Amino acid sequence: MSLSSQAAEHPRLHQLSQTNQLKALMTIIRDKNTKRGDFVFYSDRVIRLLVEEGLNYLPVNDKEVITPMGVPFQGVSFQGRICGVSIMRAGESMEQGLRDVCTSVRIGKVLIQRDERTAQPKLYYSKLPKDISDRWVLLLDPMLATGGSAMKCIEVLIEAGVKEDRILFINLICAPEGVLKMLEKFPSLHIITAEIDESMDAQKFILPGLGDFGDRYFGTED
């Protein structure tokens, strides 16, 4: 079985339904000829779908309300509070999609970069909500390659008191190597993604991928 098949069948890896609409959106943002305005617009559409899907994995309580017709309705309400944490810089592109779905949501930021001396991910900046240990966290980063930065960020969250099973990693495209490594290291973590790609190249870029998401989204390509 290929690595991508192993990742796709993992019980804690949740892919968006592979509809024609999603495939069309992903085709647009993967196309190297797509202009930045269209890249941002269609990426935002996928991001919102991912956030909506992520909310499906939050716990709920039964709740009864009375409709304007005076009739009781048996529904649910979310259990607990949430916040977002974006892995800078590309993860910041996903913040608006979260705000569009969850009004007034608190969002923290973490900056992790590769240490040139050790070649390991290193924490450079972290600003998290003070009560983050009491919240469910939607961790935002559009691309998951080796998983180094994301795993370091999860360690930061756990050190801040967040329970591992309260972290949902929201991601557009992932490499199977990174998925399997993350889920092995964090056995209570859930990953929500749009698509699982085939592999990575020698420079650890995802294939077929879409290039540098942050550069394309923020317009900083060479």
Q: Annotated active-site positions, please?
A: 114, 118, 212, 215
Q: For the chain, first and last CA: distance in Å? A: 38
- In angstroms, the CA 178 to CA 5 distance is 13
Chain Cα centroid distance, residue 8 = 16
Burial of 138 (0-12, 13-18, 19+ CB in 10 A): buried
CB contact set of 213 (below 8 Å; sequence gap of 6+): 43, 90, 93, 142, 143, 172
CB-CB contact of 40 with 217 (8 Å): yes
The 8-class DSSP code of residue 9 comes to T
Grouping H, G, I as helix, E, B as strand and the rest as coil, residue 199 is strand
